[in-house]
Structure 1
């Protein structure tokens, strides 16, 4: 391995459209409201929380991905736990 390769080994670039798999659990902030409920935005990826309590707007929550379309970077999720209440 060259010095250049060893210097940059393991380096990855962050994307503005992260992808998720069904069943993934991730922490996220509830950032808005949509037609079908609350929304979580992770970069340009949008996850809908259709059954979430409206009082969770601006809260930090642990969510589980229920569906995800990698082509459109949209999906649905459910709230597993509230990590920080909204102020």
Structure 2
């Protein structure tokens, strides 16, 4: 018998994984010497081709590669779809 109170409940990972060619929406959270980055939980995606001033903007990007062991990857900027609400 299934406990109906907990049925269907799942937990999000603090280290999500991404597949190559997956298109995702991200918040650009910072800039390093290598360029702009987006943090999704403890996973980090380096954003290629992001326009200047991209920090704190919401973007659409396509994943190029992602390493499940290090939780690091690269995504290519497609477009800006919004700005931070804070």
Shorter-chain TM range is 0.7 to 0.9
Give the C-alpha shift of residue 13 in structure 1: 0.7
RMSD: 1.7
Q: Which residue of 2 aligns with 1:15?
A: 13
Give the C-alpha shift of residue 85 in structure 1: 4.1
Change in Cα spacing, 1:79 to 1:50, as seen in structure 2 (3 Å) is closer
Q: Does residue 1:52 correspond to 2:50, yes or no?
A: yes
Q: Which residue of 2 aligns with 1:76?
A: 74
Give the C-alpha shift of residue 49 in structure 1: 1.0
Q: Does residue 1:40 correspond to 2:27, yes or no?
A: no
Figure out how many residues of one structure are paired with residues of the other and give that number.
85
Greater mean deviation of Cα atoms: 55-64 or 68-77: 55-64
Q: Which runs of 5+ in 1 are unaligned?
A: none
Higher-Rg member (1/2): 1
Structure with greater helix share of residues: 1
Greater mean deviation of Cα atoms: 45-54 or 19-28: 45-54
Q: Which runs of 5+ in 2 are unaligned?
A: none
Give the C-alpha shift of residue 80 in structure 1: 1.3
